[in-house]
């Protein structure tokens, strides 16, 4: 199928492009990018399906580099198919999925299973993240070479911080051989202990054990020092505190190969959301204070935080409709990450190209994803069309995800993805009715 | 003064007028406990379920006696006898109870927020009888009643709460209640047991008992739980009792009309010297007596009170 996406505002931060363009697509590739002009093109248009994009924004296919797809092992919460459906509905042409499945993605066969499941789904591209340590136990290195051959694009023990500094050092050294960046979940488990929310006035009054900001920040510091020691690229996951932002800012100033992400809940919600013991807003790291939220927004603005990722973490009512301290951490975000980010644009805190970069150039660079994060002639046609002014109310019952654990239900938001294309194939489409068959 | 609440999940949110109403009602109901026949028919035909998911002697007995003195039928469940041990969720247990039509469910639970979870899923009135480290509103109300009885007012009083503030639901509920009623609150204890950000709520924090005892009109001691020693919160009971316990030595400079309170059970010789627990300043047993009156008042007010 050939497509002509006509008259949209193309924002491609990687190529510093922000202009009205016509995009010609053929055989899954970008055939041509031409300034949108009223003149007739000399190209023969009969074969092209014309996608009218006037008034809309066209971007390189968005990437969510931090998700949990739960398959294999917890298919009652999410599968690779339903996760990919949620992804494309949220505008994401690609996702990276964390290794805390059952079995853990610490071996090639699990990686290959995920890749093949994603291929069957034929929706979003799925990039597996392999484990740093076998079983996420923080004791022995997983087989990074094998994982890479199986499709892994990075390594992380997400959710299970690597407490052993020596193991983290060896992981960063050994990963160099395979050019696999390390994604760090920074949390000192002794400091966070049995905490269930941010340590602050709210935890004091709710009588819930707090997790101090220092639990995250000490490990951000350690991992930056190990990055300096090993010279290996480090990506810091789900930054939630003002102190972390500052440490990362300083590390970047020193020229260290550090990148960092935050998630929409950290720039949208604060610990006060938990006052009624709302388990849907229980996440790790926890929602923090207003000052932290503002520092996160500032970090996004000045580029300290390169990436926004959803940390999509599906749970069923079994894990959430229980006592607060027993509820599991996590919320689903694939279908709200982009709209919540666009609220920062509407508030004037980020420009639209800056916001787009957090889902395109940011993750593509952090994960070295070739062909992703930009649009260029003869490159693969992964793209997203969004309407930044589309107004809607979040309704979890409409989600494609198998789970419903979102604290954003009922939020009135402005901005939504209307079309997602992967390899020249439309995988999500609110623009016109006929979804392309397989 | 009408009382229109359906649940009592905490002291937080109660207005001064509502607290006044509860205390005044309790004061008038207290007399029933001193009659020959300690029973009135006010709540005949009402059912009160005492759902105690954590061990308790004092609070549970107090609720049971309070309900019986008002002629309500009472049923008691504990963690051991409920289906929770068979893996049923809290919400399911509550919904099953609800299906049997109780009017009030009194819940004690080891986890914060459990009464809030219940109040969202059942129609019966929920009374929080202590949830984790969060709140214990009926304890605070009986403490307020006792202070008012002994001192005449709460307004402007200096109240010192001493001990493990961080892990104490009694401290939280009392701080909220006392501040609402216009009292000044000071807390003291080892720094590891003082939660952060108390000052933001207008609570004075001290780590030296000698600093606050001379100014206190009321001293409220908290129970120190022995397992806290393993959590790196203090080095030994010996040191704790010497520096953070109340004993005749550090009471020398106390006001002559000070009262000493304790929510019980007391670790004699740890946070409170036996001579003080049994001495003239102690109002510990008055607290227990008033506990029944306050719980009678709450059952009465939540079940309709003056509307009947």
**A433 pLDDT more than 60:** yes
Q: How far apart are the first and last CA of chain B?
A: 14
Question: Do both A231 and A184 map to the same domain?
Answer: yes
Question: Do both A336 and A412 map to the same domain?
Answer: no
Question: Do both A394 and A356 map to the same domain?
Answer: no
Q: Are A111 and A144 in contact (CB under 8 A)?
A: no
What's the pLDDT tens digit per position in A370-385?
A: 999 999 999 999 999 9
Work out the average pLDDT over B99-125. 93
Question: Do both A357 and A302 map to the same domain?
Answer: yes
| Whole-angstrom distance, CA of residue A160 vs CA of residue A180 | 19
Domains and CATH numbers, chain B: 16-135+288-307 (3.40.50.1370), 137-285 (3.40.50.1370)
Interchain CB distance below 8 Å, A204 and B112: no
Told to judge if A311 belongs to the known catalytic residues of this protein, a careful annotator would answer: yes
A311 inside domain: yes
State the total domains in chain A: 2
Among B112, B117, B196, the residue with its CB nearest the CB of A206 is B112
Interface test with A, best of B12, B88, B89, B113 (most A CBs within 10 A): B113
| Whole-angstrom distance, CA of residue B194 vs CA of residue B290 | 28
A371 inside domain: no
- Percent of chain B exceeding pLDDT 70 equals 96
- In this prediction, residue B180 carries a pLDDT of 97
Question: Do both A48 and A66 map to the same domain?
Answer: no
- In this prediction, residue B307 carries a pLDDT of 44
**Cα–Cα distances in angstroms (integers) from residue B265 to residues A153, A154, A182, B219, B271, in the given order:** 58, 55, 52, 16, 11
**A292 pLDDT more than 50:** yes
Could you tell me which residue, B187 or B306, shows the higher pLDDT?
Answer: B187
- In this prediction, residue B308 carries a pLDDT of 39
Among B113, B195, B200, the residue with its CB nearest the CB of A323 is B113
Provide the mean pLDDT of chain B: 92
What's the pLDDT tens digit per position in A164-196?
A: 999 999 999 999 999 999 999 999 999 998 899
- In this prediction, residue A405 carries a pLDDT of 98
| Whole-angstrom distance, CA of residue A20 vs CA of residue A258 | 34
What's the pLDDT tens digit per position in A201-215?
A: 999 999 999 999 999
A232 inside domain: yes
- In this prediction, residue A226 carries a pLDDT of 98
Question: Torsion angle of alpha carbons B64, B37, B286, B20, nearest 10°?
Answer: 80
Work out the average pLDDT over A285-309. 98
pLDDT band at B83 (very low <50, low <70, confident <90, very high): low
**ipTM score here?**
0.88
A438 inside domain: no
Q: Residues 177..216 of A with a Cβ closer than 8 Å to B: which?
A: 199-201, 203-210
CATH of the domain at A249: 3.20.20.140
Lowest-pLDDT choice from A125-139, B105-119, B219-233 = B219-233
CATH of the domain at A31: 2.30.40.10
Question: Do both A412 and A315 map to the same domain?
Answer: no
Work out the average pLDDT over A255-272. 98
A108 inside domain: yes
**A40 pLDDT more than 70:** no
Question: Do both A423 and A282 map to the same domain?
Answer: no
A372 inside domain: no
pLDDT band at A311 (very low <50, low <70, confident <90, very high): very high
- Percent of chain A exceeding pLDDT 70 equals 97
- In this prediction, residue A44 carries a pLDDT of 77
Work out the average pLDDT over B73-79. 88
Q: Are A93 and A125 in contact (CB under 8 A)?
A: yes
**A435 pLDDT more than 90:** no
- Tokens matching residue B75: 């049923």
Q: Please pick, among A106, A157, A311, A387, the residue that the annotation labels catalytic.
A: A311
Question: Do both A403 and A297 map to the same domain?
Answer: no
**B85 pLDDT more than 70:** no
- Percent of chain B exceeding pLDDT 90 equals 81
A210 inside domain: yes
Q: Are B302 and B6 in contact (CB under 8 A)?
A: yes
Token look-up 């059942």 returns B122
Question: Do both A189 and A273 map to the same domain?
Answer: yes
Residue A404 lies in domain: 2-58+378-429
Nearest to B285 by CA among B40, B58, B122: B58
Question: Torsion angle of alpha carbons A111, A114, A115, A119, nearest 10°?
Answer: 170
Question: Do both A53 and A162 map to the same domain?
Answer: no
Last residue of a domain, one of A318, A340, A366: A366
Last residue of a domain, one of A315, A334, A366: A366
Question: Do both A240 and A388 map to the same domain?
Answer: no
| Whole-angstrom distance, CA of residue A258 vs CA of residue A249 | 9
Work out the average pLDDT over B136-154. 98
Question: Do both A331 and A398 map to the same domain?
Answer: no
A437 inside domain: no
SS3 category, A193: coil
- In this prediction, residue A90 carries a pLDDT of 98
Among B112, B196, B201, the residue with its CB nearest the CB of A324 is B112
Work out the average pLDDT over B216-238. 88
What's the pLDDT tens digit per position in B149-182?
A: 999 999 999 999 999 999 999 999 999 999 999 9
Last residue of a domain, one of A366, A386, A410: A366
Chain B residues closer than 8 Å to A201 by CB: 196-197, 200-201
Interchain CB distance below 8 Å, B109 and A323: yes
**Cα–Cα distances in angstroms (integers) from residue A428 to residues A92, A124, A336, in the given order:** 10, 10, 15
């Amino acid at each position: 199928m050939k497509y002509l996406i006509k008259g949209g505002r193309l924002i491609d931060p990687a190529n510093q492009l922000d202009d009205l363009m016509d995009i010609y697509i053929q055989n899954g590739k970008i055939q041509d990018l031409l300034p949108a002009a009223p003149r007739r093109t000399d190209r023969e248009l009969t074969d092209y399906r014309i996608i009218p994009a006037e008034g809309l924004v066209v971007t390189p296919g968005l990437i969510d580099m931090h998700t949990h797809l739960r398959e294999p092992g917890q298919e009652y919460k999410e599968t690779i198919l339903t996760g990919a459906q949620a992804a494309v509905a949220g505008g994401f042409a690609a996702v990276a999925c964390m290794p805390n499945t059952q079995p853990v993605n610490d071996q090639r066969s699990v990686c290959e299973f995920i890749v093949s499941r994603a291929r069957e789904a034929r929706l979003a591209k799925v990039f597996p993240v392999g484990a740093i340590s076998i079983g996420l136990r923080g004791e022995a290195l997983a087989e990074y070479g094998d994982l890479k051959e199986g499709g892994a694009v990075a390594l992380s023990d997400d959710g299970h911080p690597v407490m052993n500094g020596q193991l983290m050092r060896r992981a960063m050294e050994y990963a160099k051989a395979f050019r696999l960046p390390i994604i760090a979940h920074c949390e000192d488990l002794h400091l966070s202990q049995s905490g269930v929310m941010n340590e602050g006035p709210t935890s004091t009054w709710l009588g819930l054990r707090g997790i101090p900001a220092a639990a995250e920040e000490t490990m951000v510091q350690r991992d930056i020092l190990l990055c300096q020691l090993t010279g290996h690229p480090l990506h810091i996951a789900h930054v939630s505190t003002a102190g972390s932002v500052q440490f990362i800012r300083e590390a970047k100033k020193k020229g260290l190969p550090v990148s960092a992400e935050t998630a929409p809940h950290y720039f949208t919600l604060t610990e006060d959301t938990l006052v009624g013991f709302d388990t849907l807003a229980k996440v790790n790291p926890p929602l923090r204070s207003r000052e932290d939220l503002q520092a996160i927004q500032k970090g996004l603005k000045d580029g300290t935080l390169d990436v926004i990722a959803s940390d999509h973490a599906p749970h069923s009512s079994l894990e959430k409709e229980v006592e607060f301290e027993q509820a599991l951490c996590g919320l689903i975000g694939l279908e709200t990450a982009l709209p919540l980010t666009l609220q920062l644009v509407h508030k004037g805190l980020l420009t639209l190209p800056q916001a787009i970069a957090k889902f395109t150039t940011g993750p593509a660079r952090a994960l070295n994803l070739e062909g992703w994060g930009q649009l260029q002639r003869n490159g693969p046609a992964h793209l997203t069309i969004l309407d930044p002014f589309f107004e809607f109310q979040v309704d979890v019952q409409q989600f494609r995800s198998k789970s419903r654990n979102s604290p954003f239900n009922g939020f009135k938001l402005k901005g939504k993805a209307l079309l997602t294309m992967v390899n020249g194939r439309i995988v999500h489409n609110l623009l016109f009715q006929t979804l392309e068959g397989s | 003064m009408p009382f229109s609440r359906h649940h009592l999940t905490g002291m937080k949110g109660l207005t001064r007028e509502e607290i006044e109403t509860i205390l005044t009602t309790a004061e008038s109901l207290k007399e029933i406990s001193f009659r020959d026949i300690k029973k009135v028919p006010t709540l005949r035909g009402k059912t009160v379920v005492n759902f105690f998911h954590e061990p308790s002697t004092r609070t549970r007995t107090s609720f049971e006696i309070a309900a019986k003195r008002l002629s309500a039928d009472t049923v008691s469940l504990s963690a051991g006898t409920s289906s929770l041990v068979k893996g049923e969720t809290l919400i399911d247990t509550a919904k099953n109870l609800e299906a049997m039509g109780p009017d009030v469910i009194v819940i004690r639970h080891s986890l914060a927020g459990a009464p809030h979870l219940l109040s969202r899923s059942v129609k019966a009135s929920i009374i929080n009888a202590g949830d984790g480290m969060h709140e214990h509103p009926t304890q605070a109300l009986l403490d307020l009643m006792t202070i008012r009885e002994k001192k005449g007012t709460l307004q402007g009083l200096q109240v010192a709460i001493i001990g493990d503030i961080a892990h104490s639901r009694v401290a939280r509920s009392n701080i909220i209640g006392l501040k609402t009623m216009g009292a000044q609150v000071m807390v003291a204890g080892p720094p590891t047991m003082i939660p952060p950000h108390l000052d933001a709520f207008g609570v004075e924090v001290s780590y030296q008992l000698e600093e606050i005892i001379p100014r206190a009109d009321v001293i409220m001691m908290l129970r120190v739980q022995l397992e806290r020693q393993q959590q790196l919160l203090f080095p030994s009971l010996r040191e704790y009792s010497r520096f953070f316990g109340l004993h005749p030595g550090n009471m020398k400079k106390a006001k002559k009309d000070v009262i000493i309170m304790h929510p019980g059970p007391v670790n004699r010789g740890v946070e409170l010297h036996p001579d003080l627990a049994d001495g003239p300043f102690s109002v510990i047993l008055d607290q227990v007596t008033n506990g029944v009156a306050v719980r009678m008042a709450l059952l009465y007010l939540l079940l309709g009170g003056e509307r009947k």
